[in-house]
Structure 1
Amino acid sequence: MVHFPFSAVVGSDDLALALVLTTVSPSVGGVLVRGEKGTAKSTIVRALVDLMPDERVVRGCRFSCDPEHPDPTCPDGPHPADPAADVRPARLVELPVGATEDRVIGSLDLGRALGEGRATFQPGLLAAAHRGILYVDEVNLLHDHLVDLLLDAAAMGRASVERDGVSVSHAAELVLVGTMNPEEGELRPQLLDRFGLTVEVAASREPAERAEVVRRRLAFDADPEGFAARFAADQEALAQRIATARAGVDDVELTDAALAAVARVCAGFDVDGLRADIVTARAAKAHAAWHGRTRVTRADVRAAARLSLPHRRRRNPFDAPGLDEDLLDRLLDDLDDDPPPDGTDGSEDPGEGPDGGGPAPDDGPEDAAPQDGTPPPPDGTGDGQAPQDARTPPDPAGPDGDPADADADERPPAPDAPGVAPAGLAGSGPAFRPKVLRLTGVGLGDPGRRSRALTTNGRAVGWRPGASGRLHLPATVAAAARDRAAGDTGRLRVGAGHLRSAVLQGQESNLVLLAVDASGSMGARRRMSEVKTAVLSLLLDAYQRRDRVGLVTFRGTGATLDLPPTSSVEAAARCLETVRHGGRTPLAEGLVLAARTLDLERIRDPRRRPLLVLVTDGRATAGSDALDRATRIADAWPATGVQTVVVDCETGRFRLGLAADLAGRMGATHVPLGEVAADALVATVSSARAAADPRSAPHERIA
């Protein structure tokens, strides 16, 4: 199979450099590539394998042992002092999102176990990727326990298997590369930290560069072999340079001054733990070796920090990744560069990208577009500063919440059009980290981190007849043994009727639909800011529990599905911050749209249990019969079977109690606004989920 040449990729200099550094020094810990769809993430990763040197492996070893340094604990060993060797190209092993745990780490060889009566280990993908690249596309969609296995193996260089009566440990030194689109959900911060380097990629906004990308892609699709041949010389030069850097990286000197600079940079950016220091030091040495230096310089530390620190600065999923490069330069002021022999600044080679990511050769008339354009940095990776919080404009109710303005939703809605005052935009405070909450009982939802459930992944807690899922070997063997004739000492015969599949218990996720009243009355007394803060806290909890979230808002004369249910809580948080308030209260329209959204999601995913969080003061003022329509919908709501929480936003000395009445009609849990601290809201959500499951006992609070 012909891959698109690595040296033919236009732009993506940071990504090319990160891949090269982790190839030069696999101990860096791999690369996580974050970016929008259609940015050649998979293309450049698959192209990397063509630049890696061929491997010498012990002949017949299933674990790809190096003949010069064979693994003394190799399951296929012990190998002789001078074993016979084969030479093969470097491997790129792709891990599909739907892979099972036994396929990743290996398992008992059922063929030999049942046919020969021998307990033999069958290697998995980690063994196949030893001394090569393990590539996981859409790594954020991979189940968390599989990501844990991969990152542990990449960090330790070994994989240990303790299952099905097999105890095996083998070498697993691999370059782990994962790609993801943040719109489809985020990785947990603990998993982000385990990736050595992270790169944000985005499509160039320069027309000339975009045209060049299209031109090269079309040329490759039309004639892959011919296109690859045009870049053969550049590919060979890059491959030789990588081989030279790999051979010399261990000899690069990390001086005390350079190490002190690494520590100062990591401390200056307030990263957690010491993994950042170790990764930055390793990446700096790899960068020095890549540029042919024997000592780490300022340029090496700077390049390494730009790739190893941005994702480690995040404190919660709503923080934008990035790095303040001005601060980085100030922290490196005390570290000087050694002048390179050729008189250049040492940060780039002639004809290469800014960080030596690869040459951009002249391809003749077909590829005559200029190559010196540099795409703008992706959002969040320029100056590294997160966007400022939306500032709360002067509220119509005034700073003291004048009662005369409390009924702002009685006024006609203010259209957001030129020459007309726009609706109000309330900011939010920082999200609180809620207490850890668990649900008792066992559900049947999709894998997540909210409550216990019978899922397709997890630990075996029982078995059922048939082979519909993972095979439960002990139960299968026991069934065959029971049917064995008395006195029969021959080979155990296992038939189709003896097969047993494992019942697996893991954790499930839920669908949380937020329906927020954004009318004018919600803007009075700055209630909208308090509501947004509480909802952000719920989103933080949903992120940690792997829930799906959606957002419906209603104001003026109708309701809008601002965010269809998604796993990306970052998108939900951004959407919530831009929600404006003003106009009348179309409560009935909001309930109808929420019900329609939940019905559609039930068709798409019938096993995921939904929860509606309705944030309102209970008023219904849009139309002459607004209150009657809302009442009729509320009275019929219990028939939907959707568990609901009504957050009552009515405040002041004179209250109508409309939200409490609405909650009673809907069969919902009623929570006054004054009790909607982050912990209280999340506890209410968890209690509602437990009540929605007849098999579940009341939830437990675990601090």
Structure 2
Amino acid sequence: MPTPTYPFTAIVGMSDMRLGLLLNAISPAIGGVLVRGEKGTAKSTAVRALAALLPEIAVVAGCRFSCDPSAPDATCPDGPHGTPQRTARPARMVELPVGTSEDRLVGALDIERALAEGVKAFEPGLLADAHRGVLYVDEVNLLGDHLIDSLLDAAAMGASHVEREGVSVRHSARFLLVGTMNPEEGELRPQLLDRFGLTVEVAASREPDERVEVVRRRLAHDEDPAAFAAKWAAEEDALRERIAAARAMLPRVRLGDGALRRIAAVCAGFEVDGMRGDIVTARTATALAAWAGRTEVTTEDVRQAALLSLPHRRRRNPFDAPGLDEAKLDEILGQFEDEEHEEPEANEANEDDDPDPQGPGPDGPDGDGPDDPNGPGGGRPPHRDQAPVEPPAPQLPPQREDSTATEETTPANHHPQATGTPAPEAPPVAAATPFRTRKFDVPGLGEGAAGRRSRARTAHGRTTGARRPQGALTRLHLAATVQAAAPHQRARGRSGPGLVVRRDDLREAVREGREGNLVLFVVDASGSMAARKRMSAVKGAVLSLLLDAYQRRDKIGMITFRGAGAEVALPPTSSVDTGAARLDRLPTGGRTPLAAGLLRAHEVLRVERLRDPSRRPLLVVVTDGRATGGADPLPRAQQAARLLAGQGVASVVVDCESGPVRLGLAAELGRELRGPVVTLEELRAEHVSALVRTVRADICADRRAA
């Protein structure tokens, strides 16, 4: 007997998440919900509990695509169904693993049967399994872009189209889409965020009593799941009935012109692109009214719907966390207060034309509605106008430096390490305006995760060759397969027009695309950077490179060196916005332990190579090339650079040296690392474009002269 699911009504707190899930259960047309939050906040538990609340569905007996017997899909691959036999089963909750393939998601043709037997046998994928149920994607931000595209296209159209290997299949795929993610592990692209109907932020409670209750209930469930489920059975049944009642009331909810004007004003006020935000907000407000047992959408419904449907759609910078300014929202809605006072009179005049025999009912605004903190949807959502709090930056250890002098103002014969005072620390400066940077990539051909930086063998891209299948055949190279089978036809006794194909003849396509890399920044934060007022420009350059890494789907890490050592300011992660936040708080001051920064980079890359051997690194060293920390600083830095170069680490040196007199130390470092050296000015893509135009003009002039 399977272990009972943790009850939905037993979840403590998390009112936003529970309300967002319930609204989608009432109105699947909302388009699903994305749950963003730290690990261990009951995201997966809530989704699985919701699936247990959904009513049973009637399906056509024997149909692999869960057709509704009252309205079977005319294009169902298992059809036509004629007069179908009915059977009932619970709504499914299908989980999409992070490591799934495109064939497993959308379905695939059985290549071997197609070639050997001449039949088109289609094997349904997870989208077909999830039809009329729940499709749950944990860590949706870690899925490949091509999988997310297929997933969200099916969610938007309510159908999945499979076009490959000469087979065209279409089947219905309507499901409640729920995605969960930890923002610290990377963000979704804005255009993909927009495809989720609602988004909610969750975080563990900081109230001791609430945390105690969470632990108490979890332990009770783990000790005796059946008894725990029986204890909450009455609440679960009541919630299940309320969902069914809200579904039945939904078609009778009236969305008046006043509510539509409020929705339009809010979306316009927050500069929401397109019309999807308006439509989703309208559907959410309607579902909120049905959940509260009302047939009229109110201003509070519009407000609460906007807080759920617009935070991830407002226009924002790539590193800004989703959020909505509630004060601005109230200001926009406040413009309609006079209109709201006039609407009841108009409604009373038309009361006979649109009777509501049930009225608000016991579950209306005075009952267990969304504003009732004790209800399952509990309470008004918390403020979303502030970004999630980032974890504090690592504390830099005390440095034994002079308390007033920086590196460049300290006499050469003075040794500040002997004073016992901490290193001077300049307050963090703001980054200069970011710009579009040159593209740097890792030489050679990799096999890492799909991205947009370096050349790699990938599942998607242009076909460059063929090879024997390594595992299950998923990408047939038809010409190579026929070529391999053709010489053996007489020996195999071929007598007809067909081609006799065996397993050894099958060939799969080798494709070349782009991969994402691990971009590790090593940033000089010493006093030499602050003394010449260069840190703002340096931060602007690093921020620009971070933005480039975000767009190219890289993992990033950051090491800073100053004073007496180097710190891992950001361990390698996919959360580029976290890197931007750490960069913003980066202090400066002290000597320049360049060797320590390079050696720390070597250690970080060694560990990451063990964790993810297929992801190739790109080292970006941002420095003026000075080395003044420790004994024999310059020779040690050169030795560390040669160590990195000897292991084949691709490197780029961003030379931050400025002023009329330049020592060229960054160029020396670049030669040791065997990588290119670019100045802050040359880092700009505009500089490269201008250089290319100049070279082309010179070439044309030379040709005309000849």
The residue type paired with residue 294 of structure 1 is T
SS at match of 2:131: coil
In the alignment, what sits opposite 1:329? Answer: 330
SS at match of 2:508: strand
In the TM superposition, what whole-angstrom CA distance separates every residue of 1:254-278 from its partner, at most 9, and x where no partner exists?
1111111111001111112111111
The structural deviation recorded for 1:53 is: 1.2
The structural deviation recorded for 1:99 is: 1.2
In the TM superposition, what whole-angstrom CA distance separates every residue of 1:345-384 from its partner, at most 9, and x where no partner exists?
9667338775786179xxxxxxxxxxxxx8995xxx5434
In the alignment, what sits opposite 1:53? Answer: 55
SS at match of 2:36: strand
- Once residues 671 and 48 of structure 1 are traced to their aligned partners in structure 2, the CA distance between those partners, rounded to angstroms, is 54
- Once residues 441 and 568 of structure 1 are traced to their aligned partners in structure 2, the CA distance between those partners, rounded to angstroms, is 26
Is contact 2:135–2:177 with CA below 8 Å preserved after alignment?
yes
The residue type paired with residue 454 of structure 1 is R
When structure 1 is superposed on structure 2, of 61-70 and 635-644 the one drifting more is 635-644
The structural deviation recorded for 1:414 is: 10
Gapped runs of 5+ residues in structure 2?
345-357, 393-404, 692-706
- Once residues 344 and 57 of structure 1 are traced to their aligned partners in structure 2, the CA distance between those partners, rounded to angstroms, is 34
TM-score for the superposition, normalised by structure 2:
0.84
SS at match of 1:83: coil
Match of 1:27 among 3, 26, 29: 29
When structure 1 is superposed on structure 2, of 520-529 and 592-601 the one drifting more is 592-601
Corresponding position: 1:445 with 2:463: no
Is contact 1:413–1:582 with CA below 8 Å preserved after alignment?
no
Question: Cα 1:349–1:492, aligned 2, differ >3 Å: closer, same or farther?
Answer: farther
In the alignment, what sits opposite 2:615? Answer: 608
Matches within 5 A, 1:289-368: 289-333=290-334, 334=336, 336=340, 349-350=367-368, 354=372, 358=376
In the alignment, what sits opposite 1:594? Answer: 601
The residue type paired with residue 31 of structure 1 is V
SS at match of 1:574: helix
Is contact 1:610–1:642 with CA below 8 Å preserved after alignment?
yes
In the TM superposition, what whole-angstrom CA distance separates every residue of 1:315-366 from its partner, at most 9, and x where no partner exists?
3331022111111112112163888956999667338775786179xxxxxx
- Once residues 377 and 619 of structure 2 are traced to their aligned partners in structure 1, the CA distance between those partners, rounded to angstroms, is 54
Is contact 1:100–1:457 with CA below 8 Å preserved after alignment?
no
Question: Cα 1:653–1:491, aligned 2, differ >3 Å: closer, same or farther?
Answer: closer
In the alignment, what sits opposite 2:656? Answer: 649
Corresponding position: 1:500 with 2:501: no
Is contact 2:59–2:69 with CA below 8 Å preserved after alignment?
yes
In the alignment, what sits opposite 1:395? Answer: none
Is contact 2:423–2:590 with CA below 8 Å preserved after alignment?
no
Question: Cα 1:257–1:457, aligned 2, differ >3 Å: closer, same or farther?
Answer: same
Match of 1:623 among 630, 633, 641: 630
Match of 1:536 among 538, 543, 546: 543
The residue type paired with residue 29 of structure 1 is G
SS at match of 2:312: helix
Matches within 5 A, 1:378-417: 381-384=383-386, 407-408=408-409
Query: CA-atom RMSD, angstroms?
Result: 3.4
In the alignment, what sits opposite 2:578? Answer: 571
Is contact 1:634–1:662 with CA below 8 Å preserved after alignment?
yes
The residue type paired with residue 557 of structure 2 is G
Is contact 1:463–1:501 with CA below 8 Å preserved after alignment?
yes
In the alignment, what sits opposite 1:208? Answer: 209
The structural deviation recorded for 1:680 is: 5.9
Question: Cα 1:510–1:83, aligned 2, differ >3 Å: closer, same or farther?
Answer: same
Question: Cα 1:516–1:441, aligned 2, differ >3 Å: closer, same or farther?
Answer: closer
In the alignment, what sits opposite 2:158? Answer: 157
The residue type paired with residue 483 of structure 1 is H
When structure 1 is superposed on structure 2, of 551-560 and 482-491 the one drifting more is 482-491
Question: Cα 1:260–1:421, aligned 2, differ >3 Å: closer, same or farther?
Answer: same
- Once residues 204 and 672 of structure 1 are traced to their aligned partners in structure 2, the CA distance between those partners, rounded to angstroms, is 47
In the alignment, what sits opposite 1:672? Answer: 679
- Once residues 314 and 527 of structure 1 are traced to their aligned partners in structure 2, the CA distance between those partners, rounded to angstroms, is 31
Percent sequence identity over aligned pairs? 58
The residue type paired with residue 120 of structure 1 is A
Matches within 5 A, 1:94-133: 94-110=95-111, 113=114, 116-133=117-134
Is contact 1:33–1:179 with CA below 8 Å preserved after alignment?
yes
The structural deviation recorded for 1:131 is: 0.8
Match of 1:64 among 55, 66, 70: 66
In the alignment, what sits opposite 2:434? Answer: 431
Aligned length: 652
SS at match of 1:425: coil
Is contact 2:292–2:363 with CA below 8 Å preserved after alignment?
no
In the alignment, what sits opposite 2:167? Answer: 166
- Once residues 589 and 689 of structure 2 are traced to their aligned partners in structure 1, the CA distance between those partners, rounded to angstroms, is 27
- Once residues 291 and 481 of structure 2 are traced to their aligned partners in structure 1, the CA distance between those partners, rounded to angstroms, is 54
- Once residues 61 and 177 of structure 1 are traced to their aligned partners in structure 2, the CA distance between those partners, rounded to angstroms, is 25
Corresponding position: 1:584 with 2:582: no
Match of 1:513 among 501, 520, 536: 520
Is contact 1:7–1:231 with CA below 8 Å preserved after alignment?
yes
The structural deviation recorded for 1:434 is: 5.1
The structural deviation recorded for 1:429 is: 3.3
- Once residues 28 and 437 of structure 1 are traced to their aligned partners in structure 2, the CA distance between those partners, rounded to angstroms, is 41
The residue type paired with residue 368 of structure 2 is P
Gapped runs of 5+ residues in structure 1?
361-373, 391-403, 685-703
The residue type paired with residue 5 of structure 2 is H
- Once residues 421 and 344 of structure 1 are traced to their aligned partners in structure 2, the CA distance between those partners, rounded to angstroms, is 66
Match of 1:555 among 553, 557, 562: 562
Is contact 2:277–2:309 with CA below 8 Å preserved after alignment?
yes
Question: Cα 1:594–1:467, aligned 2, differ >3 Å: closer, same or farther?
Answer: closer
Question: Cα 1:99–1:355, aligned 2, differ >3 Å: closer, same or farther?
Answer: farther
